[in-house]
Structure 1
Amino acid sequence: MRTHERVLASIEADLAAGRWGLGERLPAERALADELGVSRSSVREAIRVLEAMGIVRTAVGSGPDAGATVVDRPAAGLGAAVRLHVASGTLAVRDVVETRVLLETWAVREAAGRAAPSPAADATDATGVAGGGEVTGFTEARAGALAEARALLDRMDSPDLSAGAFRELDASFHLVLVRLAGNVLVEAVMTGLRGAIESYVAAGSAGLASWERTAERLRVEHRAVLDAVTAGDGALAERLVREHIEGFYRETGL
């Protein structure tokens, strides 16, 4: 094991043990180097790896914000890794599509199946403390995500929208759908895949006979998926999003 890998292993163990939490700073390079018996360059290399993985954020200087701070960006490193593997040809577009179908079909079915809280959940308990705060927060977040999804679709209806802007809104819409499922890790994986998805969608769009005709079909399909999720029809939402993703893949001949 190389020296910087030993530093990474030590920091990982300390994170797992709760030595540092989100928003807290790691010790200075010199302090970590002395503690671990390694060179400052090895510590610096390990910190660079952690920053690329989205585990820490670094800032130069000597103020309170200087050094490496623990952050929560699980999709950062994943997205970069996926994009590079797709670009190098080691990760086939078909694999990206299949992974996307796997995640999004689960997500829309889960999102559709999340029932609204019962009136009893919001009732005040015997101690006089309202018991529905957490549930109410969830329903408010869900309503906000649904409203965001509808707003994205409304923006995609603009006749002056370029193909690139449409694709960007399209990607954002699908991320909102996944967010509705409430699984942070699945959302992080999808966020990490976004760059790779946008790359193959852009490549496929360039070869279409009529982008305008395809875009109109995608608009209709987006609305249908969102309607199914909103109505709580998980089976329909799952089928529609599968047909939507795989249909575009087949149409472009990728």
Structure 2
Amino acid sequence: MKNYELVLHRVEADLAAGRLRIGGRLPGERTLAEQLGISRPSVREAVRVLEAMGVVRTATGSGPEAGAVIVAEPVSPLTAVLRLHLATNHLPMGDVVQTRLLLESWSAREAAARELGAGELKVAEELLDRMDDAGLSPEEFHLLDAEFHVALSGLAGNVLIAAVMTSLRSAIHGYVLAAVPNLPDWEATAVGLRSEHRAILAAVRGGEPEHAAELVTAHIRGFYQAAQLTPFGGTQRGAAEAEDDDRADDEVK
């Protein structure tokens, strides 16, 4: 085990045991180094890792605000990690789509089952109103589209699901925008997407869990079909050809 990992394990154990809480401060660099029998540079390395993970926030100096304070900010680190893995093709588009289907259908079902007030629906409604602007470019439209799906997932009331969806936002926007050139008629597609968004939100507002989940699933799948993409990353033509090949194999057998 590397020296800086000793600090990570110590912080994890202290958080689990309740010895450290959000807003609490890590022991000083010298104290941690002496307690764990490691060098101060190793402690500094660990604190940098914890900060990158969104577990602590640091401030330099010697005043009351100095040092490393425990925080809970998982969204930015998750977003950075997902973007890096997408850039290296470690997270295929098809996997992201399947994750969306799982998370968003569940979120829509849960949100519709809750008694949501008008204030809780306000953000999603405002995003849909902004998307009604016919002058929006595809990029502007899909930025708002991704924001809407994040807001919709947040209505389920699950903090972790909301954090994951927020982290996926850039990935969603990126591959959706990349699919736009495959659409035969962007204007017609935008009209359809607006209508589908309104229907999903209406089902959530109206307390229709299963209907809301079905609409979200159909909405996500429908876009990929229109863009000639399958949920698993290939083209619709390629999928059809594979199906024909399977039938031909069965006939031979």
**Which interval holds the TM-score relative to the shorter structure?**
0.7 to 0.9
The equivalent residue for 2:20 is 20
Superposed displacement of residue 111, structure 1: 0.8
Tell whether 2:194 aligns with 1:219: yes
> Partner of 1:77: helix, strand, or coil?
helix
Give the SS at the match of 1:30: helix
Gaps of 5+ in 2: 230-253
Aligned-residue offset at 1:206: 4.0
Name the aligned partner's letter for residue 240 of structure 1.
Answer: L
1:166 is aligned to 2:166:
no
The 1:45–1:250 alpha-carbon spacing in structure 2 relative to 1, beyond 3 Å, is: farther
Q: By how many angstroms is 1:226 displaced?
A: 0.3
Following superposition, the deviation at residue 183 of structure 1 comes to 0.9
Query: SS state of the match for residue 23, structure 1?
Result: coil
Deviations 1:214-235 (A, max 9, x none): 2221111100100011111111
For residue 160 of structure 1, what is the amino acid of its counterpart?
A: G
Secondary structure of 1:65's aligned partner: coil
RMSD, aligned CA:
1.6
- Letter of the 2:173 partner, please give it: E
Tell me the amino acid that sits aligned with residue 63 of structure 1.
G
- Structure-1 residue corresponding to 2:178: 203
Unpaired segments ≥5 residues, structure 1: 117-138
Q: Identity of aligned pairs, percent?
A: 57
User: Corresponding residue for 1:95?
Assistant: 95
Aligned 8 A contact 1:175 1:190 in 2? yes
Shift of residue 14 of structure 1? Answer: 0.8
C-alpha deviations, 1:126-154, integer Å up to 9, x for none? xxxxxxxxxxxxx5xx4322121111100
Matched, 1:245 2:220: yes
CA spacing shift, 1:202–1:58, aligned 2, 3 Å: farther
1:86-114 residue CA offsets vs partner (Å, 9 max, x unmatched): 11011111000101110000010111112
Question: Does the alignment pair 1:175 with 2:138?
Answer: no
C-alpha distance 211-68 of structure 1, shift in aligned 2 (>3 A): farther
**In the alignment, which residue of structure 1 is the partner of 2:51?**
51
TM-score of the aligned structures, taking structure 2 as reference length: 0.85
Q: Does structure 1 residue 184 correspond to structure 2 residue 159?
A: yes
Say whether the 8 Å CA contact 1:33–1:39 is kept in structure 2. Answer: yes
* TM-score, reference length from structure 1: 0.84
Partner residue of 1:113? 113
Contact kept? 1:145, 1:176, Cα under 8 Å:
no
Tell me the equivalent position of 1:235.
210
- 1:40 corresponds to which residue? 40
Q: Deviations over 1:162-204 (max 9, x none)?
A: 3222222111111111111111111111112112212211211
How far apart, CA to CA, are the structure 2 residues paired with 1:246 and 1:65?
A: 49
Call closer, same or farther: CA 1:205–1:57 in 2, change over 3 Å. Answer: farther
**Structure 2: how far apart are the matches of 1:42 and 1:143?**
50
Matches within 5 A, 1:116-155: 116=115, 139=116, 142-155=117-130
Find the aligned partners of 2:184 and 2:60 in 1 and give their Cα distance. 51
Find the aligned partners of 1:210 and 1:12 in 2 and give their Cα distance. Answer: 52
- Stretch deviating more after TM superposition (77-86 or 87-96): 77-86
- Whole-angstrom CA distance in 1 between matches of 2:30 and 2:187: 58
CA, structure 1 residues 4+161, in 2 after alignment: closer, same or farther (shift >3 Å)?
same
